[in-house]
Amino acid sequence: MTLKTLILRYAAFAVLATLANLATQRLILTGGDTTVHFLLAVAGGTLVGLVIKYLLDKRWIFYDTGSGLKDHGQKFTLYTAMGLITTAIFWGSETLFWAIWHTDAMRELGAVLGLAVGYVTKYNLDRRFVFTDAALAREQAA
């Protein structure tokens, strides 16, 4: 895969996961606008975005063919662990924007900015620590 294709594909998947994340948040926030609703929305959106992004990245970015519960469990655990740092970036940015402006538009802008920075960081972490066997096989085939 060319670098251009990789960047476009990864960006498209990031957009899909981001839209799913924000849609989940909006859905949860229809129940109210308290701090509890906000925390549930951020956590729920993050989970939905994480699962979608993992499945897309595993298959279409890293070409990882591992299957089975054990393989998925190990990789998803590592994938999630690598995401802790990037999730802190995302949550911090979203929370800061929400705390300052208390509007959905600014909260979502903070989320988008945090997710953009987080996804670039996440790709590099996943390539180095999560999908190492897939990356090695790809490099050997090239």
Low-confidence ranges of the chain (pLDDT < 70): 134-142
Instruction: Give the total number of structural domains in the chain.
Output: 1
Q: What is the reported pTM?
A: 0.77
d(CA 46, CA 25): 9
pLDDT for the residue numbered 105: 95
Percent of the chain with pLDDT over 70: 94
Residue 34: domain span:
3-141
Count Cβ neighbours within 10 Å for each residue of 4-19 and write b for 16 or more, e otherwise: eeeeeebeebbeebbe
Three-state SS at 66: coil
Percent of the chain with pLDDT over 90: 70
Rounded to 10 degrees, the C-alpha dihedral 69/41/82/113 comes to: 140
